[in-house]
Amino acid sequence: MINSSSDNVKKLNSINRRMFITGSLKFFIMIGIVSRLFFLQVKENKKYLTLSDKNRIREWKLAPVRGEFHDYFGNVIAGNFEAYQLHVIPEQVEDFRYVIYRLKDLLELSDIEFKKVLKKKNEIKPWETLIVSDNLSWQKFSKINNHLYDLNGVKPVISISRNYPFKENFTHLIGYVSQANQDDIETTQAIKKNFVPGLKVGKVGLEKTFEEKLIGTNDIERYEVNAYGRRISQLEFQKGQKGKTLRLTIDTEVQKLANELLKDKAGSICVMDIYTGAVIAMHSSPSFDPNLFVFGISQDDWELIRNDPMKPLVNKTLQGNYSPGSTIKPIVALSALENGIVNTNFTVQCTGKTEMYGQTYHCWKKKGHGYMNLRNAMKQSCDTYFYEVARKLGVDKLSETAKKFGLGEKVFGDLFDIEKKGLIPNTQWKKNALGKGWLLGETIITGIGQGYIQTTPIQLCLMTAQIANGGHKIYPHLVLDDKVNDQLIDKFTPLYKNSKNIKIVQDAIFSSTNEVMGTSYRSRIDNPKYQFAGKTGTAQVKKITEEERELDLKTFQIPYEQRDHALYVAFGPYKNPRYALSIIVEHGGNGSTTAAPMATKLFKLIIDRHKMRDSLRNKNYLEI
User: What pLDDT, on the 0 to 100 scale, is given for residue 231?
Assistant: 58
Give Dmax (Cα) for the chain.
Answer: 158
pTM of the predicted model as reported, rounded to 2 decimal places: 0.84
User: What pLDDT, on the 0 to 100 scale, is given for residue 624?
Assistant: 45
Same domain, 170 and 222: yes
Contact criterion met (CB below 8 Å) for 422 and 413: no
Q: Which of 188, 180, 174 is nearest to 287 (CA)?
A: 174
Same domain, 508 and 614: yes
Q: Which of 3-17, 137-151, 368-382 has the lowest mean pLDDT?
A: 3-17
Q: How many CA atoms lie within 13 A of 84 on its CB side?
A: 12
Which residues make Cβ contacts (< 8 Å) with residue 412, sequence separation at least 6?
318, 419, 458, 476, 477, 478
Same domain, 227 and 339: no
Q: Of 574 and 36, which is predicted with more confidence?
A: 574
Span 435-477, pLDDT tens digits = 999 999 999 999 999 999 999 999 999 999 999 999 999 999 9
Query: Is 5 inside a domain boundary?
Result: no
Query: Is 524 inside a domain boundary?
Result: yes
Task: Cis check for the bond before 573: say yes or no (omega within 30 of 0).
Answer: yes
Which residues make Cβ contacts (< 8 Å) with residue 128, sequence separation at least 6?
89, 90, 197
Q: Of 485 and 242, which is predicted with more confidence?
A: 242
Span 171-181, pLDDT tens digits = 999 999 998 88
Query: Is 9 inside a domain boundary?
Result: no
Span 134-172, pLDDT tens digits = 777 788 888 788 777 777 778 787 778 899 999 999 999
- CATH code, domain carrying 512: 3.40.710.10
Q: What is the rounded distance in angstroms from the CA atom of residue 614 to the CA atom of residue 624?
A: 16
Q: Which of 430, 419, 425, 500 is nearest to 462 (CA)?
A: 419
Same domain, 68 and 131: yes
Span 549-595, pLDDT tens digits = 555 566 656 766 778 999 999 999 999 999 999 999 999 988 999 99
The number of distinct structural domains making up the chain is: 2
Same domain, 256 and 215: no
Alpha carbon 347 to chain centroid, angstroms: 47
Same domain, 203 and 290: no
Same domain, 197 and 260: no
Span 309-319, pLDDT tens digits = 999 999 999 99
Highest mean pLDDT among 39-48, 360-369, 457-466: 457-466
> Of 230, 248, 266, which residue constitutes the final position of a domain?
248
User: What pLDDT, on the 0 to 100 scale, is given for residue 84?
Assistant: 80
Q: What is the rounded distance in angstroms from the CA atom of residue 397 to the CA atom of residue 390?
A: 9
> Of 248, 263, 294, which residue constitutes the final position of a domain?
248
User: What pLDDT, on the 0 to 100 scale, is given for residue 61?
Assistant: 77
- CATH code, domain carrying 159: 3.90.1310.10
Backbone region of residue 374 per phi and psi (left: phi > 0; alpha: psi in -120 to 50; beta: other values): alpha
Q: What is the rounded distance in angstroms from the CA atom of residue 604 to the CA atom of residue 532?
A: 10
Same domain, 286 and 154: no
Query: Is 28 inside a domain boundary?
Result: no
User: What pLDDT, on the 0 to 100 scale, is given for residue 11?
Assistant: 67
> Packing angle between helix 499-514 and helix 457-468, nearest 10 degrees?
110
Which residues make Cβ contacts (< 8 Å) with residue 335, sequence separation at least 6?
341, 393, 397, 398, 400, 401, 402
Query: Is 130 inside a domain boundary?
Result: yes
What are residue 155's phi and psi, to 5 degrees? Answer: -125, 110
Same domain, 121 and 243: yes
Backbone region of residue 406 per phi and psi (left: phi > 0; alpha: psi in -120 to 50; beta: other values): left
The residue length of the chain stands at 624
How do strand 246-248 and strand 76-88 relate by DSSP bridges? unpaired
Query: Is 35 inside a domain boundary?
Result: no
The H or E element containing residue 23 is helix 2-38
Contact criterion met (CB below 8 Å) for 196 and 63: yes
Q: What is the rounded distance in angstroms from the CA atom of residue 533 to the CA atom of residue 580?
A: 9
Same domain, 228 and 266: no
Query: Is 14 inside a domain boundary?
Result: no
Q: Name the pLDDT band for 213 (thresholds 50, 70, 90).
A: very high
Q: How many CA atoms lie within 13 A of 200 on its CB side?
A: 27
- Helices H / strands E in the chain, number of each: 25, 20
Alpha carbon 288 to chain centroid, angstroms: 13
Same domain, 268 and 195: no
Domain coverage including residue 191? 58-248
> Of 248, 268, 295, which residue constitutes the final position of a domain?
248
Same domain, 192 and 328: no
Query: Is 29 inside a domain boundary?
Result: no
Q: Name the pLDDT band for 103 (thresholds 50, 70, 90).
A: confident
